[in-house]
Amino acid sequence: MKIGIIGSGMVAQQLGLGFLILGHDVKLGTRHPDKLNQWLGQAGEKGSVGSFEDAAKFGELIALATLWNSGATEEAIRMAGKDNFAGKIVMDVTNPLAPGGEKQPPKLALAYPDSAGAKIQSWLPKSKVVKAFNIITAYYMANPKLKDGTPTMFIAGDDTSANTTIKEIAERWGWEVEIIGGIEQSYLLEALALIWIRYGFLHNHWKHAFKLLKE
C-alpha cells in the first residue's frame, strides 16, 4: 500500500519508518524537504519526500502528523488539496494542544464535545478519518515494546472498514487495539493524550503507555 504522511516532524518520520518496516511505500509531505535528508537515508528506496500535495496524491492511506496550533493542520490540508483525500482513510495523529504557561504542560485547545478528530472529519467529509496513535510518543508508535507488557492503542472512527485497517496496522506493529466508537469520541483520546503528557511533566518520564486490563 502507498502511504502519504502530511508532516515532517519526529512523529511523521517515525510513522514513516514504521510503515516502511511493514513493506509499504511512503512519501512524507513537507514544506522543508532539506530537513528530511537523514530520514531519506534511513528509508531506502521505498521512502520519498515531496510537498503536502504530493503526499496526499500519493497515499492510498494518508496520515496527518501536523501541529495543531495556529491553524497548522487545517492549512496543511488546504495546501494538500481536499480532493486528494477523498475516498481515502485518513489516520489522524494530531493533538489540539495550546501552551500551558511557563514550565507547565500544554492544555487542550478544544474540548468536549469538540475535538480535532471531529473537525478533521468535517473538513474532509468524503474521507474516512480514524483517530489513532495520538496517545503515545513517536518512538513507540511502531515499536510498542515496554518492559511491563503490551500496551493498548485506542482508536475511533465512523467507518468500520477504516477502523479495521488501522487496527490491523497497529496489531502488526505490536499493539493491542480497542475501537471505542465513532470519530466524535476523539475528544476522549485527546484528553487521554493530555494525561500521558501530564504524567511525563510531573515525573520527567516519557517511556510510558496505557494498558487496558481485563478479567
Q: Indicate whether 212 belongs to any domain.
A: no
Out of 96-100, 101-105, 106-110, 124-128, which region has the weakest mean confidence (pLDDT)?
Answer: 101-105
CA distances to 1, 38, 122, 169 from 48, rounded to whole Å, are 14, 12, 29, 20
Please report whether residue 45 resides in a domain. Answer: yes
Q: Is residue 209 part of a domain?
A: no
pTM: 0.96
8 A C-beta contact, residue 1 and residue 63: no
Task: Please say whether the beta carbons of 85 and 77 come within 8 A.
Answer: yes
User: Residues of the chain with pLDDT > 90: what percent?
Assistant: 95
Domain that holds residue 192: 2-203
DSSP string, 104-156: ---EESS-TT--HHHHHHHH-TTSEEEE-S-SS-HHHHS---BTTB--EEEEE
Q: Specify if 81 maps to a domain.
A: yes
Residue 208 counted as domain residue: no
CA distance 121 to 198: 27
Could you give the angle at which helices 116-123 and 186-203 cross, rounded to 10 degrees? 140
Express each pLDDT in 173-203 by its tens digit.
999 999 999 999 999 999 999 999 999 999 9
Is-contact 64 80, C-beta < 8 A?
no
At 90, is the secondary structure helix, strand, or coil?
strand
Can you tell me the distance from the alpha carbon of 39 to that of 47, in angstroms, rounded to the nearest whole number?
9
CATH number at residue 196: 3.40.50.720
- Domain contains 181: yes
The total domain count for the chain is 1
Q: Is residue 213 assigned to a domain?
A: no
Does any domain span residue 214? no
Give the position of cell 520519498. Answer: 48
State yes or no: pLDDT of 101 exceeds 90.
no
